Amino acid sequence: MRIVLQRVKQASIEVQGRKIAAIGRGLLLLVGFGANDGKDLPQSAAWDKLLDKIVELRIFPDQDGKFNLSLNEIQGDLLLVSQFTLFGDCKKGRRPSFSKAAEPHLARALYDRFLQDLDRQAPAKDESGRFGAEMDVHSTNQGPVTMILDSDMWS
């Protein structure tokens, strides 16, 4: 599982020109699952570590401008977007290969479970894009602050 995490002032998603999700200050998460991620991933230590890391990572500024506050501490919002292209392989040719991405049925099940589990740990509003849809993602990255998290870090 790979996550691109961005600290945002605001973010929203449109599908076919219609806004389907929007948040204020918080985190935009682009979430992808790989071919090596199995249906047992939610029972792994890596899964729990990623959930904790998202809500407890100190990347929001305190009154002195230092990274000392977490999503939980600021009661920030979350916007999740399914993103199989995080597993795109661009080594050969000019068209990326997505053979390292999880099959759609497994990825959807993992994504839905991740949303549920994160909802239990998130302090405030959480929103999601539409799995498998063509989406326009709008955001104002604050900082900018962008982090990459990968379940392989804790495997």
Q: What is the secondary structure of 62-120 as a DSSP string?
A: -TTS-EEE-HHHHT-EEEEEE-GGGG-B-SSSSS-B-TTBPPHHHHHHHHHHHHHHHHH
**Domains, in order of start, for the chain:** 2-154 (3.50.80.10)
Inter-residue contact 139 to 127 (CB < 8 Å): no
- Residue 1 CA, chain-centre distance (Å), reads 10
Q: Answer yes or no: 83 catalytic.
A: yes
122: which 2 tokens? 């998130």
- Looking at residue 122, what is its pLDDT? 84
The answer to whether residue 85 is catalytic is yes
Instruction: Please count the helices (runs of H) and the strands (runs of E) in the chain.
Output: 3, 8
| Residue of 85, 87, 116, 142 marked active site | 85
Q: Which amino acid is at 69?
A: L
Percent of the chain with pLDDT over 70: 100
Segment 87-101 mean pLDDT: 94
- Please state, as a whole number, how many other Cβ atoms lie within 10 Å of the Cβ of residue 50: 25
pLDDT, position 125: 83
What pLDDT is recorded for position 103?
A: 96
List 60, 84, 87, 114, catalytic entry? 84
Instruction: Name the pTM for this structure.
Output: 0.94
Write out pLDDT tens, residues 44-82: 999 999 999 999 999 999 999 999 999 999 999 999 999
Nearest to 18 by CA among 112, 122, 129, 147: 129
Phi, psi values for residue 93, rounded to 5°? 65, -165
Average pLDDT over residues 110-121: 94
Tell me if residue 87 is catalytic.
Answer: no
